[in-house]
Amino acid sequence: RLVDETFSRLDARGVAVEDRHRVLTIASLIQREARLEEDFYRVSRVIQNRLAIDMMLQFDSATQYGAGDTGSVWSSAEALGDDNPYNTYAITGLPIGPIAAPGDVALDAALAPAEGEWLYFVTIDLRTGETQFSNTLAEHEQGVERLREWCRASDENRELCA
């Protein structure tokens, strides 16, 4: 029933049978990474931009999924070092398959990414979902530091960042 529903949703969007796996994999990454609806399309663009230049995705969600370690915002050293086909810090391109069941917005975003040159993103407020998109590694590192500051700001924030 779930597979039939998923295929129906893909068919309704005109996804060819041979593209289903790729679209579902991309949409699942978007589903796990994006928080706000408009960001689904931006995350999709980051994926497309990185794939276009053979840049590793370096998505914590996929890396943690492959290591069976999905409880934190940050990838553990063990997850980063785990040799599995979902470790996007170790492989170039998409992971071997989907990491979540994507919703309609994620599917739409996978098929129609926003326009932009972003290569990086980081959610800087885990409560609101505010996410910073960046073109350069230096900008991204500033965003990561903003997230770290947010995590340190209160006990409640620290719990969300654990």
For residues 136 and 153, is the Cβ–Cβ distance under 8 A?
Answer: no
Largest CA distance in the chain: 48
Tokens of residue 9, six digits: 């949703």
From first to last of its 162 residues, what are the pLDDT tens digits of the chain? Answer: 888 899 999 999 999 999 999 999 999 999 999 999 999 999 999 999 999 999 999 999 999 999 887 767 788 888 888 889 999 999 999 999 999 999 999 999 999 999 999 999 999 999 999 999 999 999 999 999 999 999 999 999 999 888
Instruction: Please state the length of the chain.
Output: 162
- Helix or strand holding residue 131 (H, E): strand 131-134
DSSP code of 53? T
Which residues are CB-contacts of 146 (< 8 A; sequence separation ≥ 6)? 122, 124, 132
Amino acid at 112: A
DSSP code of 114? P
Of 106, 99, 23, 21, the closest CA to residue 61 belongs to: 99
Tokens of residue 73, six digits: 């915002």
pLDDT of residue 16: 97
CA dihedral 90, 113, 106, 21 (to 10 degrees): -60
